[in-house]
Amino acid sequence: MPKDLDALLREERVFEPSEEIVENSNIKKWMRKHDIESYDQLLERSKNDVEWFWDEMAKDLEWFEPYNIVYKWKPPHVKWFLNGKFNIVHNALDRHVKTAKKDKFAYIWEGEAGKVRKLTYHDLYREVNKFANALKSWGVGKGDRVSIYLPMILELPIAMLACAKIGAIHSVVFSGFSAKAFQERSNDAESKVAITADGFQRRGKIINLKANADEAMKDAPTVEKLIVVKHAENDVNMHEGRDIWWHEIIENMDDECETEIMDSEDTLYILYTSGTTGKPKGVLHIHGGYAVGTSTTLKFVFDLKDDDIWWCAADIGWVTGHSYIVYAPLILGVTSIMYEGTPDYPDPGRFWRMIEKYGVTVFYTAPTTIRMFMKFGEVWPQKCDLSSLRLLGSVGEPINPEAWIWYYKNIGNDRCPIMDTWWQTETGMFLITPLPIAKLKPGSAVKPFPTVQADVLSDDCKSLTEKGGHLVLKTPWPSMFRTLYKDPQRYIDTYWSMFENIYLSGDVARKDKDGYFWVQGREDDVLNVAGHRISTAEVESALVSHDSVAEAAVVGKPDAIKGEEISAFVILKQGFKATDNLKAVLKKHVRTEIGPIAQPAYLSCVEDLPKTRSGKIMRRVIKAKVRGEPVGDISTLANPEAVDGLDKAI
């Protein structure tokens, strides 16, 4: 990678949280207790005494046997809370049923068709125990792997927690993935049992998930049993001797189950994340440090209190759902919303009606979702009472300033701070993030969480300010992944080989003069235009800042003279038409916003952009189309028809 990345976009607006939010925040109360007066003092003290900070955090959890060493760091490997005996499920469920929390709702679930299910902590505890006993009856025990291929239904967290309770290792595969993806992940994990559902609802249609699972099981030699949840009640084929209904196996199971005593460093789960090349990487997380890291960050970043209604609108198939729908909220004992369907079904008001209906106080979603709602306009959130909201959040990719402002104004009513969190499947928890006491700059993830030492480095390991470079982490954190499953050398080669004893995130970022971090996207999403290295995210952000644009995707098109030229695709907001004049205006707008070098050479207006089922724009497909290359596997696309739309635009 060439030395530096040009950082062209500048954002000068600053937003401060209200005095009420600051003074009542969990982090401010904790700071008072420890005689810490300011945000900067908090960051400095925790950086200088990592053991003190995380030892304090770990005391909030219950240990079967106490740890005697906070952490041991021998790069690139770390261990946290050594010799401690622990189980994450004891902290997420068992301890709560001994208190008044047992009668509090753990989950309020709403299906796409409107059906509602509610589980108290005691209900969830019993359901987890019954399914854990069922797994044990099939010979599943400590260290065995279980592949879970379920939609956003309550049986998904129940299955995860049941595995963890008995010491089994779960591997959740996103229900939008293909049969082949499920098969590859099940085989790599050598899973003993797999779990799926008959089907689920998507935009009013039933998706036959069992058919996908059957296809995957044709070559899954280690899987002995396939457990099937009856959810959509569509007709499915049950393979005699292998398949069994969930409701049948739990029918006579005891609703008490002893929790396995685990070592702090024992494996909790494997989650596969796509590599840029080759097979998916099996990211391995553990019980102890992961529990401490995720619960601490949720408590302090999103300031959750006992009476909050928390809605992380992600899918549990991704790490966001593992950490912040399942484990951390349950450890904190809060009520979470779960939703089965798509954000804009049956219309773009679905999310806002649910916030009003359930009195959601803290809401966390992705920039892609926000930009989709921008396309539909302000009219939909204006129909609903969103006054229950206190804090907002953003996750999954950098949020461009104009989307940030729209979110702040139209959803947060100019009063809800936005916690723009940067983290990864590999990190397990938020690493660069605001706290509710921080001044906010739209588009910036602000500063590292206490104890976390992040930096932006050049190729020759020099720290950069106001210049783009490699986003790196210099110190360990409790919930960091321990290795890649069955591939320790790839773990070292991918994350630790570029800089000595420094974690390479694979993202590019810049750090401004105030120490605020601006993540600019993946290193793969960088253009080289006439010797200038430009982040696609900056050009996309400039395009979306125009009143007519809802979403944008930018890729490079090879050019014999410049190396690459910028090719942009935009989705217009409702009410705007794609004319030659508007295209010229948009090109000029980018030139004005970030300079002539970033002006797109090509600009097309499209109805849709190819996206994964998690909502991320698949730039790889767009790039292949622009370059006239095969698009490759598009089985994980939510909207394969968008690929045909690109043909008409190019």
Q: Which position has the token pair 């991704």? A: 318
Residue-wise pLDDT tens digits, 444-478: 999 999 999 999 999 999 999 999 899 999 999 99
- How far is Cα 547 from Cα 196, in angstroms, rounded to an integer? 44
Which whole number is the average pLDDT over 537-546?
Answer: 87
Which residue carries 């120490």 as its tokens? Answer: 515
Asked if pLDDT for residue 7 goes beyond 60, the answer is no
* 410 contact partners, CB below 8 Å, separation of at least 6: 378, 381, 382
- What is the tens place of the pLDDT at every residue in 276-329? 445 789 999 999 999 999 999 999 999 999 999 999 999 999 999 999 999 999
Nearest Cα neighbor of 420 from 440, 405, 437 is 440
The C-alpha atoms of residue 616 and residue 525 are separated, in whole angstroms, by 13
- Checking if the pLDDT of 616 tops 80, the result is no
Give the tens place of pLDDT for each residue, 412-424.
Answer: 999 999 999 999 9
What is the Cα–Cα distance from 440 to 133, expressed in whole angstroms?
A: 48
Q: Is pLDDT above 50 for 1?
A: no
- Using the predicted structure, report yes or no on whether residue 151 has a pLDDT greater than 90: yes
Domains 19-87+266-520 and 91-260 share a fold: yes
For the ranges 103-117, 483-497, 533-547, which has the lowest average pLDDT?
A: 533-547
**Whether residue 236 has pLDDT greater than 70:** yes
CB 531 within 8 A of CB 20: no
Question: Which residues contact residue 267 at a Cβ distance below 8 angstroms, ignoring those fewer than 6 apart?
Answer: 143, 169, 284, 285, 286, 287, 482
Amino acid at 296: T
Report in angstroms the alpha-carbon separations of 615 from 323, 339, 445, 497, 561: 19, 15, 20, 31, 35
- Domain 525-649 class? alpha beta
Half-sphere exposure of 449 (CA within 13 A, CB side): 29
pLDDT of residue 636: 64
- Can you tell me the mean pLDDT for 78-95? 98
Cβ-contact 396, 537 below 8 angstroms:
no
- Average pLDDT over the chain, rounded to whole? 92
- Two structure tokens written together for 446: 């602000």
Does residue 530 carry a pLDDT above 90? no
DSSP alpha helix (H) spans, 244-323: 246-250, 288-301, 319-321
Q: Where are the domains of the chain?
A: 19-87+266-520, 91-260, 525-649
Of 201 and 397, the structure prediction assigns the larger pLDDT to 201
Give the number of other CB atoms < 10 A from CB of residue 36.
19
pLDDT score at 533: 67
Question: Which architecture does CATH list for 91-260?
Answer: 3-Layer(aba) Sandwich (3.40)
pLDDT at 2: 38
Q: How many helices (H) and strands (E) would you count in the chain?
A: 22, 30
CATH code at 19-87+266-520: 3.40.50.12780
438 contacts 430 by C-beta, under 8 angstroms: no
Beta strands in 444-490 (DSSP E): 454-457, 469-473, 483-484
Enter the pTM of the model. 0.87
324 neighbors 48 (Cβ within 8 angstroms): no
For residue 632, pLDDT over 90 is answered with: no
Token pair belonging to 546: 């125009």
